């Protein structure tokens, strides 16, 4: 049994622009975890970077989630960006972030062992009515933002926020961000790296224009989409990959042609009709600003009056609030000048 070595990398940047070298795996390779006293219970997820299984630690009796990654096509063994991503995950110790417990390797496979939680937010939304979820929205949203503020205060981007990556511990009532993909770190306001999630309904619209750029406002946009979904019970952009891209393009065109205000008024009326308070609509509008430079930060959202009395709000003081500058170019100008 080997453990992946620690690494001091702070910026994850793939030069080949592809993650295809990480092959999707077969469940037979999970038999190896028996050597480490884990028992496979069931498969619970699959993505670009591999498969995730619910397992039982036979020594402690505790459940864990194990992500299995195939590196057979990597000529030099464990790739540097994977080591860097693992190193970043191991740095994250916070009540609202799922912990990486161990990293193991066997041959050409890497196994990431995470703590296991009972339920993901997507399942929670599907199993409950919007009315029954409403009393919990502020608490859930505040904990998501607290976890995200912690990410950003450590110069780390999540990059894959969606309801299935927001987990709920039913016993402690804790909400935790899961990152079964790979985190990336940033040392400057914008960093370019490969982000392969073309069809995600939670991906920020500016990334449609320049998909290689990903920064903290993208994470906030995703939280805004999750917020709206908790209120309505349905995704904000409820369509498939191809349709979603078309919808986002129309969304951008409306904004550029000064028609977005009509779209937003319609959405605001719908959300108010579903019971969202006016301050909540106001916060959501700040999270879904088309111009990422004007989008509220995670900490800024936590300071909003809508969350003033929510439980478990802890501001990450190391994150400065981003105040929009009045002399910044408009979103339309940036698009026309090709600056995204």
Active site (catalytic) residues: 160
d(CA 140, CA 147): 11
Residue 339's alpha-carbon distances to 20, 56, 115, 327, 332, in angstroms, are: 28, 49, 41, 16, 10
Residue 129 near residue 302 (C-beta atoms within 8 A): no
Number of Cβ atoms within 10 Å of the Cβ of 209: 15
73: left (phi over 0), alpha (psi -120 to 50) or beta: alpha
CB of 156 closer than 8 Å to CB of 322? no
- Between the alpha carbon of residue 304 and those of residues 188, 283, 298, 314, 315, the distances in Å are 26, 7, 10, 13, 12
> Which residues are registered as beta bridge partners of 111?
68, 104
Annotated binding-site residue numbers for ATP: 67
Through-space distance between the first and last CA atoms of the chain, rounded to whole angstroms: 45
Crossing angle of helices 278-287 and 260-273, rounded to 10°: 140
According to DSSP H, which parts of the chain are helical?
A: 80-91, 121-127, 130-133, 137-153, 206-209, 216-232, 241-256, 260-273, 278-287, 298-302, 331-336
Look up residue 156 and give its two tokens.
């780390």
Cα 17 to Cα 43, 59, 194, 208: the distances in Å are 29, 41, 5, 16
DSSP class of residue 6 equals P
């Amino acid at each position: 049994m080997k453990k992946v070595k620690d690494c001091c990398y702070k910026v994850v940047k793939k030069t080949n622009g592809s993650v295809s070298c990480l092959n999707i795996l077969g469940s037979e390779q999970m038999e190896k975890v028996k050597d480490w006293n884990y028992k496979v219970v069931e498969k619970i997820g699959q993505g670009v970077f591999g498969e995730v299984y619910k397992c039982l630690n036979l020594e402690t009796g505790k459940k864990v989630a194990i992500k299995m990654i195939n590196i057979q096509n990597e000529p030099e063994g464990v790739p540097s960006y994977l080591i860097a991503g693992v190193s970043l995950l191991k740095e994250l110790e916070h009540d609202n972030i799922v912990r990486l417990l161990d990293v193991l390797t066997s041959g050409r496979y890497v196994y990431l062992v995470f703590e296991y939680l009972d339920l993901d937010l997507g399942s929670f939304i599907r199993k409950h009515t919007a009315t029954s979820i409403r009393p919990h929205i502020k608490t859930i949203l505040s904990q998501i933002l607290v976890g995200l503020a912690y990410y950003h205060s450590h110069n780390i981007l999540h990059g894959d926020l969606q309801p299935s990556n927001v987990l709920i511990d039913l016993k402690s009532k804790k909400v935790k961000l899961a990152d079964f993909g790979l985190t990336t770190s940033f040392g400057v306001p914008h960093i370019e790296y490969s982000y392969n999630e073309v069809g995600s309904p939670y991906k920020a619209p500016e990334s449609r224009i320049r998909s290689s750029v990903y920064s903290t406002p993208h994470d906030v946009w995703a939280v805004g989409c999750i917020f709206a979904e908790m209120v309505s019970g349905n995704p904000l952009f409820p369509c498939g990959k191809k349709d979603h891209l078309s919808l986002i393009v129309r969304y951008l065109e409306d904004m550029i042609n000064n028609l977005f205000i009509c779209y937003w008024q319609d959405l605001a009326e719908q959300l108010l009709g579903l019971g969202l308070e006016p301050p909540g609509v106001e916060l959501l509008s700040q999270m879904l600003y088309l111009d990422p430079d004007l989008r509220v930060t995670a900490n800024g959202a936590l300071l909003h009056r809508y969350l003033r009395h929510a439980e478990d709000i802890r501001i990450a003081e190391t994150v400065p609030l981003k105040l929009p500058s009045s002399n910044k170019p408009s979103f339309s100008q940036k698009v026309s000048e090709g600056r995204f």
